Structure 1
Amino acid sequence: MPPVRPTGPRLTPKGEATRRRIVEGAAAQIRAGGAAATTLDDIRARTSTSKSQIFHYFPGGKEELLLAVAAREAELVLEDQEPHLGDLGTWQAWQDWRDAVLRRYEQQGVTCPLGVLMTELGPSTPAAQALTARLLDQWQAALRRGVRRMQDSGEMDGGLDADRTAAALLAAVQGGVTILMSTGRVTHLEAALDSTLGLLRATAPGAPLREV
């Protein structure tokens, strides 16, 4: 996912590095103390930067910085699924992707850094909505490419609508994650992934009939 960039002049490599250090420091501070409790002074102290530097890279202040941190957290959602998400050309690759998704959310537990940031920003604000939509669109596009690769190789039913299938897979993940965040249980996410992938595999051309 392309990171959120300032609308001003293009940054130099040194400026990019400073901006990245501020974003990463802010993310660490938010994980430690929460988004609501984190102040610009906290971030300044953690990153060894001045307030003028922070406002140079984030003229909109804390809200703009939180949006940049949220964008980085969204990138991590996809990065943590690699290299499997970008290479869904075999059933083993899909199984490896499933394992990576479970591992990521099992380690995350009930607190989602991205969800916390979105709550602080206001999920109904245009910037937050756009960021969420971009994450889901990129995730769905990667799954869609994987479905089409499997269809092209004859490993998945060619009659399936690839985009709707990818949307269903993404909905299965997000539903399981929502329950995990409410209960601390990963079993629903595991069941959603296993059942969805099992159904896709069972309907592949030449696949034996079996219970899924």
Structure 2
Amino acid sequence: MAATRAPRLTTKGQATRRRIVEGAAEEIRERGIAGTTLDDIRARTATSKSQIFHYFPGGKEELLLAVAAREAERVLEDQEPHLSNLDTWSAWQSWRDAVVARYERQGINCPLGMLITELGRATPAAQALTSQLIGQWQAALRTGIQRLQDTGEVDPQLDADRTAAALVAAVQGGVTILMSTGRLNHLEAALDTSLTFLRTAAPNVG
């Protein structure tokens, strides 16, 4: 993906850029990438062609990357406020329920997955975006595990980062099967089994 120099934006410009990204995201959710054109996005966001290229000099490819970044943010936002407050077993259960509910709403179509595929999974930009999402997600889960360790709920010898990585992998594996089959039960099983493992790491659990 060719590098482009993003324009320095005023507050109004930032708002316009956000509106374009949000409008493009809505179009892609409704129509898919193949069915979404710049004209569709212009109509939805009440912007001109010159405005699109002002905020996204690289054209549709740069806009798709911005939409993918926004969709990645949504993955984490949809897990809040639970993801930032994983300090009790009840909070972990609420997080689990929020994750399942998010992907139940999403169904078999994953806008972020489609965007990353369109951009090319092997491209540096797509890889960097995916790595950032996974890194932030894993870090939040690691912090939650460490909070349980600090309160004596989980064995302090447990590798918090490795366990957090396994939790992310469990979710992503369940989501992949959901996208292929339309069934949530594998995602639920992966999360429930992972949380059972975490609970069994509690020092005083009989």
Task: Give 1:24's aligned residue.
Answer: 22
Q: Is the 8 A contact 2:6 2:56 kept in 1?
A: no
Structure 2: segments with no counterpart, 5+ residues:
none
- Partner secondary structure for residue 20 of structure 1: helix
TM-score normalised by structure 2 residue count: 0.96
Counterpart in 2 of 1:123? 121
Query: What is the deviation of 1:7?
Result: 4.0
Q: Look up the equivalent residue of 1:65 and give its one-letter code.
A: L
**What is the match of residue 203 of structure 2?**
205
Deviates more, 1:37-46 or 1:111-120: 37-46
Is it true that 1:46 corresponds to 2:52 in the alignment? Answer: no
Aligned residue runs from structure 1 range 109-148, under 5 A: 109-148=107-146
Whole-angstrom CA distance in 2 between matches of 1:127 and 1:11: 22
The aligned counterpart of 1:66 is 64
**Residue 100 of structure 2 contacts residue 187 of structure 2 at CA under 8 Å; is this kept in 1?**
yes
Distance in 1 (CA, whole Å) between partners of 2:129 and 2:59 is: 18
Residues in 1 aligned to 2:176 and 2:78: alpha-carbon distance in whole angstroms: 18
2:148 to 150, 155, 170: 150
Distance change (3 Å), C-alpha of 1:189 and 1:139 = same
Q: How big is the shift at 1:41?
A: 1.3
Does the CA contact (< 8 Å) of 1:66 and 1:117 recur in 2?
yes
Give the letter for the 1:129 counterpart: Q
Deviation of 1:203 (Å): 2.4
The Cα shift of 1:119 comes to 1.3
**Which residue of the partner structure matches residue 166 of structure 1?**
164
**Structure 2 counterpart of 1:35:** 33
1:127 is aligned with what amino acid? Answer: A
SS of the counterpart of 1:37?
coil
Structure 1 counterpart of 2:57, which letter?
P
The 1-side partners of 2:94 and 2:192 are apart by 12
Q: In structure 2, how many angstroms separate the alpha carbons of the residues matched to 1:196 and 1:79?
A: 21
2: CA distance, partners of 1:190 / 1:164: 20
State the shift of 1:10 in Å: 3.0
Tell me, yes or no, if the aligned pair for 1:36 and 1:120 is still in contact at 8 Å. Answer: no
Question: Partner of 2:193 in structure 1?
Answer: 195
* Cα deviation, residue 9, structure 1: 4.3
Deviations 1:177-204 (A, max 9, x none): 1111111110011111111111211220
CA deviation vs aligned residue, 1:108-132 (integer Å, no higher than 9, x gap): 1111010111111111111011100
Give the deviation of 1:107 after TM superposition: 0.9
SS of the residue 2:51 aligns to:
helix
Separation in structure 1 between the aligned mates of residue 132 and residue 196 of structure 2, nearest angstrom: 28
Match of 1:108 in 2: 106
Which amino acid letter does the alignment assign opposite residue 39 of structure 2?
D
Q: Is the 8 A contact 2:178 2:184 kept in 1?
A: yes
Query: Could you state the TM-score of these two structures normalised by the residue count of structure 1?
Result: 0.93
CA contact (8 A) 1:44 1:51 kept: yes
**AA partner of residue 48 (structure 2):** S
